[in-house]
Amino acid sequence: MRHISMTPFGRQPVTAGLLATHALAEAEAPSTSPDKWALLRELTAARLQFAVSDRDLAVLSALLSFHPGKILADDDKLIVFPSNAALSDRAHGMAESTLRRHLAALVRAGLILRRDSPNGKRYATRRTGGAFDLVFGFDLRPLLVRSPEIAAAAAEARALAQTLRRLREAVVLRLRDGAKLLGWLAEHQPLAVESYHLRLAALQRQLRRKLDADMIEGMAVEADSLFDDIRSQIPVFAEELHANDSEYERHKQNSNSLILESEPCQERQERGGEVSTSLPLGIVLKAAPDIRDYAPDGIRSWRDLVAVADVVRPMLGVSPDAWARACQIMGAETAAIVLCCILQRVTEISRPGGYLRALTDKAEAGGFSPGPMVMALIRAENAQVS
């Protein structure tokens, strides 16, 4: 009487999972015979549902390579019996200890079943006519029996992946639109949109992580809310901008009440086409102390001031191009002084980015010095104290 063992060789115990897999392996096979490589691709798509890793599937692929033909038919060829050395070769040199670990994972997942011989070796015996009599090795029949389940799980996994991609794309587009609008608003009303910047940055950080469907759906709701909040401010700021246009043009031409940039200044020097200044750093910081709030480590040198100004620049709505041009024409130190002064009076300047561009044009024409800006701020401060 022929008997196929259902228990593992050696110290490996019988488990409920092993018995369930054995029962599954003895179940009726599906009417169709799947292509083994197509089935492996389906299982790859559904690997999370079956709790197997990519390395587990690499070992399963090596096992399948010992099965003759492309189709998994319900016959005695479903048991493969490669040696550890042969299996390691087809698994690209994977160590035997690693092989055993991944084979055990495939057994736990109910995808293969061990058919161990009395001595634990893998081999086959043949009848007189050459047909297999007894085969000891790894039984692929659970894979065949579960092929409809694997195909359904793969379809579900692909549908979920597509849903996640669509949700993620929607969030990315919402955040991109919000960021573009926020950049436009920040150029005109930088302080009014600071809270939106914080919300946008938080969502962008979350998007870098691997998120499940529920988390992405939550992000989509937050992104929609943020976008709606930003868009609701556009009519308000647009009206303010339209009302301030004529005032801004007059302000750009000449302003004695804010920052007097067009006065001649005796400390102004020309250095390689750039505007140079002999203003002491301490005087600049006294005139525009608000810049210190953005320097937790303090400002001890001109290099520190330039670095902090580069941090503050986007908060004021100054574009990278406008800042680079200002640094090129004025010099980095002078551009940093100008930015400090703009920050100090930002509530009185409707368009800091445009204002900096206007001053850069004046510096390029040779009619600008930062000295009067700094002195105007100091006089205003002294007037308030007195």
pLDDT for 249 equals: 43
Q: What is the pLDDT of residues 178-193, one digit of tens each?
A: 887 777 776 655 556 6
Q: What is the pLDDT of residues 249-298, one digit of tens each?
A: 444 443 333 433 433 333 334 444 444 456 788 889 988 998 988 887 88
Going by C-alpha positions, the residue among 156, 166, 193 that lies closest to residue 178 is 193
Q: Which of 9-13, 211-215, 287-291, 360-364 has the lowest mean pLDDT?
A: 9-13
Selected from 1.20.1250, 3.40.50, 1.10.3470, 1.10.10, the CATH number assigned to the domain covering 16-145 reads 1.10.10
SS3 229: helix
Rounded alpha-carbon distances, angstroms, from residue 354 to 80, 321, 342: 75, 12, 11
**Calpha distance 112→144 (Å, rounded):** 9
Determine if the pTM surpasses 0.85: no
Rounded alpha-carbon distances, angstroms, from residue 333 to 168, 308, 330, 358, 383: 42, 11, 8, 18, 27
CATH 1.10.10-classified regions of the chain: 16-145
Phi, psi of 212 (to 5 degrees): -90, 180
Going by C-alpha positions, the residue among 239, 231, 237 that lies closest to residue 192 is 237
Neighbours of 384 (CB within 10 A): 7
pLDDT for 323 equals: 93
pLDDT confidence bin for 143, thresholds 50/70/90: very high
For residue 5, is pLDDT > 60? Answer: no
The amino acid present at 225, given as its one-letter code, is S
Structure tokens that stand for 105 in this block? 């994972």
Phi, psi of 132 (to 5 degrees): -65, 140
Q: What is the pLDDT of residues 109-135, one digit of tens each?
A: 989 988 877 656 776 666 666 666 677
**Calpha distance 190→232 (Å, rounded):** 16
- What does the mean pLDDT of the chain come to? 78
298 conformational bin, left if phi > 0, alpha if psi -120 to 50, beta if neither: left
Q: What is the pLDDT of residues 294-317, one digit of tens each?
A: 887 889 999 999 999 998 888 888
